Structure 1
Amino acid sequence: MIDNKSAPYGILALRVTTGALFLFHGLVKLFVFTPAGTAGYFESIGLPGALGYLTLLVEIVGGLALILGVKARLVSLALVPVLLGAAYFGHGAFGFNWSNPNGGWEYPVMWAVVQAALAALGDGAYALVPSNKQAPRVQYA
């Protein structure tokens, strides 16, 4: 059964947590690895360097949007391919387990599923700019 009173706060917790993680990862790419270093890494794994800059930007802007609740459903949906790309291109060769050297692919896939679930669930409580359509409310007798 879905508790319509507490569910928006559960969604809020997932939205803010994943937003903070995206923001953190984007800021690490910006300040630690640097944009040029991030682009160089993308090139080293056979991707266009420009995709590194785009990923950095998407992680920072997407993270902030999730934290604030700005079109969170759309942002969550847009982040799914970023995570699947990280799983395939960034971690796919290192096996399933995230504790493997260089990380495994299951962690970014799990986050992709979380983002897909958030896209399906809606914005949750305290969304600054809610998405146009909310998931239908489930009513039980």
Structure 2
Amino acid sequence: MPAATSRHDVGLLLLRLGLGMVLLFHGAFKLTHGVGWIEDILTGLGLPTALAYGTYVAELLAPVLVILGVRARLAALVIAVDMGAAIALVLRPRIFSINQGGGGWGIELEALILVAALALSLTGPGGIRVGTRASS
């Protein structure tokens, strides 16, 4: 590989693609089915229902930015905050549980998304991203 495209950059690209694609599917679901169920959860917790619309930013806009590598650190931080809030506010009862449908941690998907987003917010997008030129 040329110096401009290191294995490190390819690894960060794969991290961005994986994180972004997983979240885009979650965001697409919310876009087609709405966030009323999230509003209900927030109401039950005494929080403003307007916060539910932040999931559109965290699960549609932020993943696109992460995939493109544009403002990726900030976008990854938005995703991390979203996942942290989901774990703390909604998934807390599953933190110390095992999935009954085949094993695994009760919050393994959300935890992986959180950790991947935090890692990306610390490392940045790498060299393969929109707005960079490949050297010949």
Q: The TM-score by the shorter chain falls in which range?
A: 0.7 to 0.9
2:17 matched residue in structure 1 = 16
Aligned equivalents of 2:30, 2:49: Cα separation in 1: 13
8 Å CA contact retained: 1:94, 1:100:
no
Same amino acid, percent of matched pairs: 29
Secondary structure, in 3 states, of the residue corresponding to 1:128? Answer: coil
Q: TM-score, normalised by structure 2?
A: 0.77
In the alignment, structure 2 segments of 5+ residues that lack a partner are: none
Q: Partners of 1:127 and 1:6 in 2: how far apart?
A: 14
Partner of 1:76: 76
Task: State the match for 1:115 in structure 2.
Answer: 117
- The Cα of 1:39 is off from its aligned counterpart by 2.1
Distance 1:104 1:45 in 2: 21
Unaligned runs of 5+ in 1: 131-141
Contact 1:62 / 1:79 at 8 angstroms: preserved in 2?
Answer: yes
Bigger Cα displacement from structure 2, 73-82 vs 38-47: 38-47
Work out the CA distance in 2 between the residues paired with 1:23 and 1:9. 21
The number of equivalent residue pairs is 126
Residue type of the alignment partner of 1:69: G
Indicate how the Cα distance of structure 1 residues 97 and 56 shifts in structure 2: closer, same or farther if over 3 A, else same. Answer: farther
Describe the SS at the equivalent of 1:96: coil
Deviation at 1:69, TM superposition (A): 1.4
Deviation at 1:78, TM superposition (A): 2.3
Superposition map of 1:79-98 within 5 A: 79-97=79-97
Change (3 A) 1:98 1:121: farther
**What is the aligned partner in structure 1 of residue 129 from structure 2?**
127
User: What code does the residue aligned with 1:99 have?
Assistant: N
CA contact (8 A) 1:29 1:56 kept: yes
Counterpart Cα distance in 2 of 1:66 and 1:20: 10
**1: distance between equivalents of 2:48 and 2:23?**
21
47-56 vs 121-130, which deviates more?
121-130
Runs ≥4 in structure 1, deviation > 6 angstroms? none
Q: TM-score, normalised by structure 1?
A: 0.74
In 1, Cα distance between equivalents of 2:25 and 2:40 = 20
| CA separation of 1:39 and 1:115: change in aligned 2, threshold 3 A | same
Matching residue's letter, 1:67: I
Which structure has more relative contact order (CA 8 Å, sep 6+)? It is 2
